Amino acid sequence: MLEKLFPSVTRLPRLLALVALALLISSCGKDNPAGPNRVPLTLRAMGTGSSGSSASHAASIGSAGYAAAAAADTIPVTFTRALLVVRDVRFVLGEGGEGEDESESDSLDAENDSTEAENDSTGDHEEEGGAVIYRGPFVIDLLAQTADSLGTQLVPPGLYHQIMGHLAALHAGDWNASQFSFLIGSTVLLEGTVNGDGGGPFTYQTRIDDEFILKGPFDIQAGIPATAFLTFDLSKWLRARDGSFLDPRIADNSKWIEFAIRHAIKVRMDGNHNGMMDD
């Protein structure tokens, strides 16, 4: 009876439901991280030698250790352990995709080296607009024969104008602290032997609380899964800016070794999508 007298009253809930459904459908895929406009970006980390090849290709790993090579000769060191703590890594999507002026860099090496640093002791960073963040901490074994995966995220394609990250100490409350209790309070652990006359075993452990910035642009293409390789060049960790050897057993060398570590970071993309970083 009510439907005959007031037909619009009974239809109103149905109309409202249809409107709500239409709004929901139209909103899907715009800001949804799983939307069709996003692509998987896998971030991997590894140690390298001076040639740019992975540690597994640069030298044999195992009881013989890893002999890091310098530009023209060999550092008189055999590493048996090399660990580094990275708190987070952020890909910053740039407007127009233009990278910053590389000429302003004071880096030790070529394009895409880490070139800027700011003290940061908190290890707790908020998300920023236009940034894709891989949150750690990640303990990276730089002598491993494979590149450690730091995770995969669905990201918007485009030109990312820089990649930022933090080197910081492992905290007692971190999720992986129980596996690396000997690293708590430290960012870097190096063990090995200084070769030759006057050489001997060493353990170098230090805390670095610092930001690194790698300048792009880094191209993430639409519709194609991408892989980025964050690399740490061990051959430069014990080298001063003039190329001289920094003996890790000498306390006064520690600040220069820390400086060298911060400036021996690069990012290389898998541009041909073969699962390996480009030369």
Question: Contact, 188 vs 84, CB < 8 A?
Answer: yes
Please provide residue 8's backbone torsions phi and psi, each rounded to the nearest 5 degrees.
-70, -25
Specify the 3-state DSSP secondary structure of 20: helix
pLDDT digits (tens, 9 = 90+) for 24-39: 434 333 333 445 589 9
Question: Contact, 37 vs 201, CB < 8 A?
Answer: no
Which tokens hold the place of 149? 């995966």
pLDDT digits (tens, 9 = 90+) for 164-222: 999 999 999 999 999 999 999 999 999 999 998 899 999 999 999 999 999 989 999 99
Share of the chain above pLDDT 70, in %: 62
Q: pTM of the entire structure?
A: 0.71
